[in-house]
A and B are shown apart, each in its own frame.
Chain A
Amino acid sequence: GDSVTQMEGPVTLSEEAFLTINCTYTATGYPSLFWYVQYPGEGLQLLLKATKADDKGSNKGFEATYRKETTSFHLEKGSVQVSDSAVYFCALTVKYNFNKFYFGSGTKLNVKP
């Protein structure tokens, strides 16, 4: 079946450090891949997405590349800020069945000044 696995947290970094949050997926169809961010006390917000292999999604300094050969969609940022502290969710949906969204368990990021 379709599923998403992401690295467990929490991840604690100092400000300006490099961030990687790993995400791998299993999909039977043609998945679109997403990263959502949840700030404390808020709902999920779409951070970036990629809809086909080799696409790179980017937003607010974050990037992720859809790697079909490794079934991965790792989230990266070159220099994190305290304001990036949040929970990050990797997710996928499959073409022809956009009602099925599969979310990872979430990775909490703590950035210290």
Chain B
Amino acid sequence: NAGVTQTPKFRVLKTGQSMTLLCAQDMNHEYMYWYRQDPGMGLRLIHYSVGEGTTAKGEVPDGYNVSRLKKQNFLLGLESAAPSQTSVYFCASRVESGGARNEQFFGPGTRLTVL
């Protein structure tokens, strides 16, 4: 199993440009998450999904949109990038039930710089 994968690994954008980050998991997990990691602030939840076709807002959703058209994929979109969105973005997933339901599995991250 590849686990959780993210593309791209690095990206540089100019202010106002748009882009989509792709997260894919091959563990048949129901739940998927997008976080951003900023220095000294740990991880903050942007959006999450509890299943195919569903999405919900997290702690810092403004400026981002998401879609979960397929169970294995969770897309994070930036419609008009701003320098404040410079960050490292992590995707995570977890099972819905069972003993491991409170564990999240993380992807390797995408480092985004907005100039």
Contact = CB atoms under 8 A, between A and B. Distances in A.
Interface of A: 4, 32, 34, 36, 41-46, 49, 51, 89, 93, 98-101, 103-106
Interface of B: 4, 31, 33, 40-43, 45, 48, 50, 56, 90, 92, 94, 101-109
5 contacts: A44-B43, A46-B104, A98-B102, A101-B104, A103-B43
B107 A43 contact: yes
A99 B30 CA distance: 12
Nearest to A31: B102
Nearest to B109: A43
Contact of A43 (B33, B40, B42, B106): B106
Nearest to A102: B42
Given A43-B107, A43-B108, A32 B42 contact: no
A51 B109 CA distance: 27
A6 to B, nearest CB: 9
Contact of B31 (A34, A44, A99, A105): A99
